[in-house]
Amino acid sequence: MNMHAHHLSRHQVIALLEERDILREQVRQLEELLRPTIILPAAWRLTRREAETLNILRAAAPRVVSRDYMLTALYGLSDEPPGTNILCVFLSGVRRKLREARVAIHIETVRGSGWRLSPQSVAVLDGAVATYRESCAVKVDRRAA
């Protein structure tokens, strides 16, 4: 539709605004799907972005997550996403904090492609998350009693 705003009727403007709102909601939902959320143990002390990074890797495992996919999952379709070096900062933080917490999750760098979690790391992550959930449920049950 090649129309200028001053040639549109009030009805057409309203229809375009409604369509824009629907498309924005669809984009929001798609971006949410790119960034799944698993509640990670607080003892790991991950920042929000570090936790999101680990969640994205887990959701894609065992596939490789590219830089572009990671940036889109973290920042959406922003006109000005941060530089790709920020991903190295997040991954470095995740790796360091997992080492400090003595959690054997290895984030593999696939040269020229991106990053991935090995099947063994996925099993360790899933086990740690399940244990964390159980410990939280036990705390809630004790408070209720």
- The domain spans of the chain are 1-34, 37-144
- Grouping H, G, I as helix, E, B as strand and the rest as coil, residue 39 is coil
CATH-assigned architecture of domain 37-144: Orthogonal Bundle (1.10)
Question: What confidence tier does 32 reach under pLDDT thresholds 50, 70, 90?
Answer: low
Say if residues 124 and 105 touch (Cβ distance below 8 Å): yes
pTM for this structure? 0.72
What backbone phi and psi angles, to 5 degrees, belong to 65?
-100, 120
How many residues belong to the chain? 145
Alpha carbon distance 5, 18 (integer Å): 15
Q: What is the mean pLDDT of the chain?
A: 86
Alpha carbon distance 104, 98 (integer Å): 7
Residue-level pLDDT at 50: 96
Alpha carbon distance 21, 14 (integer Å): 11
Which residues are paired to 114 by β-bridges?
A: 110
Asked whether the CA dihedral 42, 64, 107, 94 is positive or negative, the reply is negative
